[in-house]
Amino acid sequence: MDKKVKLIITDLDQTLLKGDKSVSQYTLETIKKCKEQEINIAIATARSERAAKKYIDLIKPDIIISNGGALAKHNGKVIYRSMLSPLTSDGLIKESVLHTDIGEVTVETEIGYYSNSHDLLKNGVDYDHAIYNSFEISLNCPSYKITVEAFNNEAVLELATKYSECSFLAYSGEKWCRFAHKNATKDYAIIKLAEHLNIDLSQIAAFGDDYNDIDMLKTCGYGVAVSNAIEEVRQVATHITYSNEEDGVARFIQENFLL
């Protein structure tokens, strides 16, 4: 047991959540015990706060890191925000719409989602409040992320390199790629949160499974991969726990951090 851990951060999809997107009662009880023992709980997700609302309401985390690290809040207060500038956003959107290796385009701003796909608006559970936009007219506002349907990741990566403030991320096993600010990362948000909370990074435990969790796990004192994580995540982890289907996050917390 490590009594020094003051903050536990977990990814949602394929980490805390089971394959059917549920959260077990055992996990909820574990989170409750953490709070009772004054351990802060945070979620760190590529989802927007809107798309994660169901789980935010259920888990009631002290800290929310959303949009892959572009936005971090502590008890509702914005601690860190990193967005693509209007110039970069509009440039990426315009080139993405015209790019032969890119299909659907979705943009998230402070106001909400915009997408050029009617099908995505109709069927995408994460975009139920999105607005259709052909992007023929510039949005002219900052964006948290631009998600594109990529038919050729290498070609899309070349597009990202044209913009100095931009980073590019491809998700394992998916056709979707994300453009975001280069500082819109989970690890960067965690560093800012640690400064705000006045805690050392060694006092933080993080759980993850995919590419956008790698630097987060490397940054924290405990970097824990669920057993279903991709190999690249498993290689950088300090520990490996059970899978998301086996309540890996909660079981590791119970065995290592709780009285």
Is a pLDDT exceeding 60 seen at residue 122? no
Burial track 203-230 (b if 16+ CB lie within 10 A, e otherwise): bbbbbbbbebbbbbbebbbbbbbbebbb
pLDDT average, residue stretch 131-146 = 89
In a domain, 1, yes or no: no
pLDDT score at 159? 86
Measured CA to CA, the distance from residue 21 to residue 182 in angstroms comes to 29
Is a pLDDT exceeding 90 seen at residue 204? yes
pLDDT score at 133? 86
Together in a domain, 154 and 232: no
Measured CA to CA, the distance from residue 108 to residue 145 in angstroms comes to 6
Contact 147, 178 (CB under 8 A): yes
Together in a domain, 67 and 188: yes
- Our count of domains for the chain comes to 2
Structure tokens at 61: 């985390």
Domain boundary among 148, 181, 214: 181
**Tens digit of pLDDT for each residue in 24-82?**
999 999 999 999 999 999 999 999 898 899 999 999 999 999 999 999 999 999 999 99
Together in a domain, 113 and 173: yes
Domain hosting residue 246, numbered range: 7-82+184-256
Together in a domain, 78 and 194: yes
Together in a domain, 72 and 199: yes
Domain boundary among 122, 155, 181: 181
Together in a domain, 123 and 137: yes
pLDDT score at 90? 95
**Tens digit of pLDDT for each residue in 75-103?**
999 999 999 999 999 999 999 998 888 88
In a domain, 2, yes or no: no
Together in a domain, 57 and 102: no
Domain boundary among 163, 181, 199: 181
Query: In Å, how far are 44, 46, 118, 234 from 200, measured between CA atoms?
Result: 18, 24, 46, 23
**How many Cβ atoms from other residues are within 10 Å of residue 3's Cβ?**
10
In a domain, 233, yes or no: yes
Together in a domain, 193 and 67: yes
* CATH label of the domain that carries residue 46: 3.40.50.1000
pLDDT score at 81? 97
Is a pLDDT exceeding 70 seen at residue 202? yes
pTM of the shown model? 0.89
In a domain, 225, yes or no: yes
Together in a domain, 148 and 225: no
* CATH label of the domain that carries residue 131: 3.30.1240.10
Measured CA to CA, the distance from residue 179 to residue 217 in angstroms comes to 21
Together in a domain, 139 and 56: no
What is the residue-averaged pLDDT of the chain? 92
Together in a domain, 75 and 117: no
Report the share of the chain in percent with pLDDT over 70. 94
Burial track 23-61 (b if 16+ CB lie within 10 A, e otherwise): bbeebeebbebbeeeebbbbbbbbbbbbbbeebbeebeb
